Amino acid sequence: MSCSIFILIFEPFEIENQTGEWYVDLIIFSLGIIFFLSILLIEFLVPKVIPKLFENWNFGKAILWYAWVILFVGAVMFTYKSYLGGFRDFTWMEYFSVLGRILIIGITVSFFTLGVISYLNRQRFSLISSNENYKIKAPNSKSIRLNLNNVMYIVSDDNYVDIHLNADGKREKIVFRSSLKNIESQIVTSLTPIYRCHRRHLINIKFFEIKKNTSRNVKIQLINYDDEIPVSKQYADLIVSLLQVRP
């Protein structure tokens, strides 16, 4: 929808109604609809059909995935455009031209849309991948799988970590032989809600609220529970800002 409105208003790449007929505007508007539907198809259908492809998501996988998304959406838009034009320009050159247009329009609209959403609700970006199952590995230990949406916090205990979970309102604790740094390297990314708040603690910010906030001391508390977690000075500004903007 955003792309349709963007194309109609700004008329990029000479995509404009030169006839003045209302149905031409409708055809131009349909380009944005097809663009949206093709992204909806690949972003929601593929993860459900091939969920293992999205496990242990990282930057490299994201680059490959969105390169594929651009190629797929480009193919759909190229086919639709060629159909409207009677397949007169059904060539590789035109396909790459469509890819370039999609990339520029998509990036422009996406940055604007994401900027608005981020301004209104920055916190939700960290929850994008919270429902993914992460396979956690450690030397001399059997790997485990964690759904980050269920992880409340993780605390280091010498050579082990205590992983506190909340699944469907039921608390559970897993003791896993690993360093906290090893766990952090596998689950803390810009897309997850897990943050380090202390040398011994990782937290899921959606489960916490600010208990005490002074210039000398910051403490957070597990919502609906008595668990209190200290916040080191070096992490205090970030953790407080994240909890303050949470809806």
Which of residues 120, 152, 171 is at a domain's end? 120
CATH number at residue 240: 2.40.50.1020
Do 198 and 225 fall within a single domain? yes
Do 115 and 180 fall within a single domain? no
Distances (CA, A) of 4 to 7, 14, 34, 51, 73: 5, 14, 9, 31, 15
Beta bridge pairs of residue 220:
210, 229
Do 168 and 204 fall within a single domain? yes
Do 114 and 131 fall within a single domain? no
Average pLDDT, the chain: 76
Range of the domain at 103: 2-120
**What are the pLDDT digits (tens) for 180-228?**
999 999 988 877 889 999 999 999 999 999 998 887 888 999 999 999 9
Q: How many domains does the chain have?
A: 2
Do 89 and 192 fall within a single domain? no
Do 85 and 152 fall within a single domain? no
- Cα-Cα-Cα-Cα torsion 111, 117, 118, 119, nearest 10 degrees, comes to 110
Do 131 and 240 fall within a single domain? yes
DSSP category for residue 43: I
Which of residues 83, 101, 120 is at a domain's end? 120
Angstrom distance (rounded) from CA 6 to CA 170: 47
Angstrom distance (rounded) from CA 117 to CA 103: 21
Do 57 and 110 fall within a single domain? yes
pTM above 0.75, yes or no: no
Helix %, strand %, coil % of the chain (to 5): 50, 25, 25
